[in-house]
Amino acid sequence: MEKLIKILSRIVEDAFEQCGYERNFGNVTISNRPDLCQFQCNGALPASKKYKKSPIQIANEILEILKNTNVFKDVFSAGPGFININIKDNFLADYLNDMSKDKKYGCSKPAKPMTIIVDYGGANVAKPLHVGHLRAAIIGEAIKRISRFLGHNVIGDVHLGDWGLQIGMVISEIRRRMPELPYFVESYKGEYPEEAPFTIDELEEIYPAASSLAKSNIEAMEEARKATFELQSGRKGYIALWKHILNVSVEDLKRNYSALNVEFDLWMGESDSQKYINEMVNYLEENNYTHKSEGALVIDVAKETDTYTIPPIIILKSDGAILYSTTDLATIWQRVKDYNPDQIIYVVDKRQGLHFEQVFRCAKKTRIVNENLSFDFIGFGTMNGKDGRPFKTREGGVMRLQDLIRIIQDNVVSKLDDNKGFSESEIYDIARKVGLSALKYGDLSNQVTKDYIFDMEKFSYFEGNTGPYILYTTVRIKSILRKASEEKMNNIDVICEPYSQSERDLMLKLSKFNEVIEFSFLEKAPNKLCEYIYDLSNLFNKFYHENKIISEENIEKKNSWLSLITLTKNILETSLDLLGIEVPDRM
């Protein structure tokens, strides 16, 4: 379906053309004086400069034409020559009826769907998931869902950190503890055990021990480096042990992500790029893109127009070891080969911005990707505690994700109304869904790049700009519709002209759904969708408090209302789903 604002623009543009002016002066925007009008067109002002006529004169000529269409209720000029527009109620109602019948509520498929890879999550194997990974998962999931909803071919990849120094640390720590294991015997020829020599709980204890040792002890650090290098060079025993680390850790990660309602299409990682590294480095060397700098193999990526220093990207260290930049480049190499994407979106902490700038420039400069591929770095800010510093546990440690989820769920349970007679299993379901809504909405409602304060109390209020408030509104509509269907009031398929201003406002907001989705997609801004459903919830609640829907006696009116709130519920549920938030039946 065409966006409402586009339809209106087209009509006003036609009018400008008819009067002998350039079409594009007819562009219509949302009114910035909603108390006066719904839409406006300011084109008469710039047109007056071009055509040397007063703006008010031009506006009046346009108005004469617009008055004769059947779309506008009233159009009038204001100020120096603004055209203020209100549309006919039946036009609005028709638009909503079309929307209600459309599977995507008015969002049309792009003319040329793109293949988009969303690189998000970015968990590191053998390390527990912590709140730092929360944002990547939540934001990336929303971006993935919104893109897919619009009809693009979207592939979400967790891109695990599974090939770096932390693995070398874990391998050397296991070696210290269990030197007799066959993985460490270089001459070993037999089969390696099928069972991992540790559980996830043990692994979670092994990594911090290894890491703090390596930090304080140069030899241990050197050992970990060596083990990493040997692993990357394919040492058999280490590869076998690494597979155990990967399996045990990934099983746990999958559990965690699924508790967050985050689903990846691909569970690939840095390690999957290893087999392309030789090929890629040969290509880069043969085409003379690289040069040596202090023994390392590097590529210059600075440009004359740079306003800050962008150092050369290092492809191989002087000892031949690979780096984060190497695996990221080789991953692009692999993605181009396997998926030929039009766009790759990275949802990563904004502090990695320079790294990605180097990687993107290098990939373009060396033609690993063609010019048309667009890279999009969505660098997010830090989630801080109330003290304004990165969020920590009360003891000052790193808060684990599963603990965070539990705390917020407990908080939600304490807010539930005892009188509603929820069963044990229902409480569990509500706590899970409402808890996640608090967490996710609290995150997504902020502009992605900004740091924000994680305030559990605030996020879990049932009122105000919070996830639980939006859920509460949706659940309220569900409950009205349940009652209506008990009364067999299911003859609900036409929205009629609004009977009141609050109803009209609600309808107008609903009509903007496709516009908001498209904007959120283009700008990669889930916060715009949050803003929209918050406004929508407020408008619904105003309408709801002004009208008694179930006891309304005028059947036509009641049916129309039921259709209207059905659409409202569908838009809320769809939007929440795009944000990765589920709605309970009751709460």
By CB under 6 A, name the one of 122, 156, 467, 526 that touches ligand ARG: 122
Minimal distance, residue 32 CB to ligand ARG, in Å? 40
Neighbours of 558 (CB within 10 A): 21
Rank residues 124 and 466 by Cβ distance to ligand ARG and give the closer one: 124
CB of 421 to ligand ARG, least distance (A): 45
DSSP 462-485: SSSSSHHHHHHHHHHHHHHHHHHH
CA–CA distance, 479 with 482 (Å, rounded to integer): 5
The amino acid that residue 345 corresponds to is I
Closest approach, Cβ 210 to ligand ARG, in A, equals 17
Q: Residue 66 is encoded by which pair of tokens?
A: 């617009």
Q: Which is nearer to ligand ARG, 161 or 168 (CB)?
A: 161
Helices 200-216 and 236-259, axial angle in degrees (round to 10):
110
First to last CA, the chain: 35
Question: Is 435 one of the binding residues for ligand ARG (CB under 6 A)?
Answer: no
252, 272, 328, 503: residue in contact with ligand ARG (rule CB under 6 A): 328
Residue 97 identity (one-letter amino acid) = N
Cα torsion angle, 64, 68, 70, 74, sign: positive
* Pair of tokens at residue 571: 């838009």
Out of 159, 175, 433, 558, which residue is the one contacting ligand ARG (CB under 6 A)? 159
The region of 34-42, 118-126, 257-265, 335-343 touching ligand ARG under the rule CB under 6 A is 118-126
Residues 446-485 that bind ligand ARG (CB under 6 A): none
In the bound state with ligand ARG, the residue whose beta carbon lies nearer, of 366 and 465, is 366
Q: What is the number of alpha carbons within 13 Å of residue 456 lying toward its C-beta?
A: 16
Residue 161 in contact with ligand ARG, rule: CB under 6 A: yes
List 13, 119, 223, 443, residue binding ligand ARG (CB under 6 A): 119
Q: Binders of ligand ARG: how many residues, by CB under 6 A?
A: 8
Site for ligand ARG in 329-358 (CB under 6 A): 346, 348
Distance between CA 297 and CA 177 in Å, rounded?
A: 37
57-61 contact pairs (CB < 8 A, 24+): 58/19, 58/21, 59/83, 61/19
Distance from C-alpha of 326 to C-alpha of 323, rounded to nearest angstrom: 5
Q: Which is nearer to ligand ARG, 157 or 223 (CB)?
A: 157
Least distance (Å) from ligand ARG to the CB of residue 46?
A: 45
Smaller CB separation from ligand ARG, 113 or 132: 132
What type of residue is 47? A
272 binds ligand ARG (CB under 6 A): no
* Distance of alpha carbon 540 from alpha carbon 525, whole angstroms: 24
CB of 250 to ligand ARG, least distance (A): 14
* Residue closer to ligand ARG (CB basis): 87 or 160: 160
Smallest gap from residue 158 Cβ to ligand ARG (A): 9
- Residue nearest ligand ARG (C-beta atom): 122
Strands 82-87 and 72-78: antiparallel
Residue 347 CB, nearest distance to ligand ARG (Å)? 8
Residue 586 to residue 565: CA distance in whole angstroms: 17
φ, ψ of residue 496 in degrees (nearest 5): -95, 180
Burial of residue 278, with CB atoms counted within 10 A of its CB: 0-12 exposed, 13-18 middle, 19 or more buried: exposed
Q: Which stretch binds ligand ARG (CB under 6 A): 119-127, 172-180, 484-492, 505-513?
A: 119-127
> Backbone phi, then psi, for 460, in 5-degree steps?
-105, 10
Q: Does 124 bind ligand ARG (CB under 6 A)?
A: yes
Stretch that binds ligand ARG, among 91-99, 117-125, 379-387, 423-431 (CB under 6 A): 117-125
CB of 95 to ligand ARG, least distance (A): 42
Q: Which residue, 78, 82, 109, is CA-closest to 12? A: 82
Helix, strand, coil percent values for the chain (each to nearest 5): 55, 10, 35
Which part of the chain contacts ligand ARG (CB under 6 A), choosing from 76-84, 116-124, 186-194, 239-247?
A: 116-124
Considering the complex, state which of residue 448 and residue 530 has its C-beta at the smaller distance from ligand ARG: 448
Q: Tell me the closest approach of the beta carbon of residue 328 to ligand ARG, in angstroms.
A: 5
Q: Which is nearer to ligand ARG, 62 or 369 (CB)?
A: 369
| 72 vs 120 by CB, closer to ligand ARG | 120
Tell me whether residue 122 or residue 442 sits nearer to ligand ARG (CB atom).
Answer: 122
In the complex, the smallest distance separating the C-beta of residue 92 from ligand ARG, rounded to whole angstroms, is 45
Q: Are strands 291-293 and 153-157 parallel, antiparallel or unpaired?
A: unpaired
| Contact (CB, 8 A) for 351 and 125 | no
Least distance between ligand ARG and beta carbon 313 (Å): 13
526 makes contact with ligand ARG (CB under 6 A): no
- Residue 159 Cβ, how far from ligand ARG at the closest point, in Å? 4
**Alpha carbon of 46 to those of 63, 540, 573: distances in Å?**
17, 38, 42
Residue 120 contacts residue 136 (beta carbons within 8 Å): yes
Write out the residues near ligand ARG by the rule CB under 6 A.
Answer: 119, 122, 124, 159, 161, 328, 346, 348
